[in-house]
């Protein structure tokens, strides 16, 4: 077995060096890296825009948790001990409206997540369910 040692940077005399291929290969690598840099930059900008717009929408649609005051057409009823949302809706609603629908509208208008009421609590009855 014969080993041939070639010093770094030299080429064997039997094989001429192909400079055209080396130059082309180097330019292709540079073009690829430029394309990847441009793609990463574009992705970063798009990700920032999507994130920023999401924060803007969340900020604009966030509720303050405060209830809007009653208008002139609405009435405000104070809850007594033993009152239920169903009984109050049935007592104050338009007879043509279903009681279930009136309870739902009352819960939405007053920001209630359940039918539980506290004594002394004020409920606003919207004009669309009143007679």
Alpha helices in the chain (DSSP H): 19-61, 85-92, 99-110
> How much is the average pLDDT of 47-52?
88
Give tens-digit pLDDT for 61-81.
555 566 777 778 888 989 998
Domain count, the chain: 1
Q: Is residue 109 part of a domain?
A: yes
Indicate whether 113 belongs to any domain: yes
34 pLDDT higher than 80: no
pTM as predicted: 0.49
Residue 111 lies in a domain: yes
Calculate what percentage of the chain has a pLDDT beyond 70: 69
CATH of the domain at 99: 3.10.350.10
pLDDT score, position 57: 72
pLDDT of residue 25: 54
Residue 44 clears pLDDT 80, i.e. is over it = yes
3-state SS of 27-45 is HHHHHHHHHHHHHHHHHHH
Residue 106 included in any domain? yes
Supply the pLDDT for residue 112: 86
Q: Give the residue-averaged pLDDT of 58-62.
A: 60
pLDDT category at 20 given cuts 50, 70, 90 is: low
CA–CA separation, 102 and 78 (whole Å): 17
């Amino acid at each position: 077995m014969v080993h041939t040692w070639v010093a770094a940077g030299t080429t064997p005399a039997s094989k001429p060096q192909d400079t055209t291929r080396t130059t082309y290969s180097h330019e292709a690598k540079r073009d690829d890296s430029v394309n990847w840099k441009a793609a990463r930059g574009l992705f970063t900008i798009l990700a920032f825009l999507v994130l920023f717009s999401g924060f803007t929408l969340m900020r604009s649609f966030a509720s303050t948790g405060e209830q809007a005051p009653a208008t002139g057409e609405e009435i405000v009823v104070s809850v007594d001990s033993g009152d239920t949302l169903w009984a109050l809706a049935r007592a104050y609603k338009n007879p043509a409206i279903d009681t279930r629908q009136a309870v739902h509208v009352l819960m939405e208008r007053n920001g209630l997540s359940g039918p539980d009421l506290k004594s002394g609590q004020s409920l606003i009855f919207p004009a669309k369910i009143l007679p």
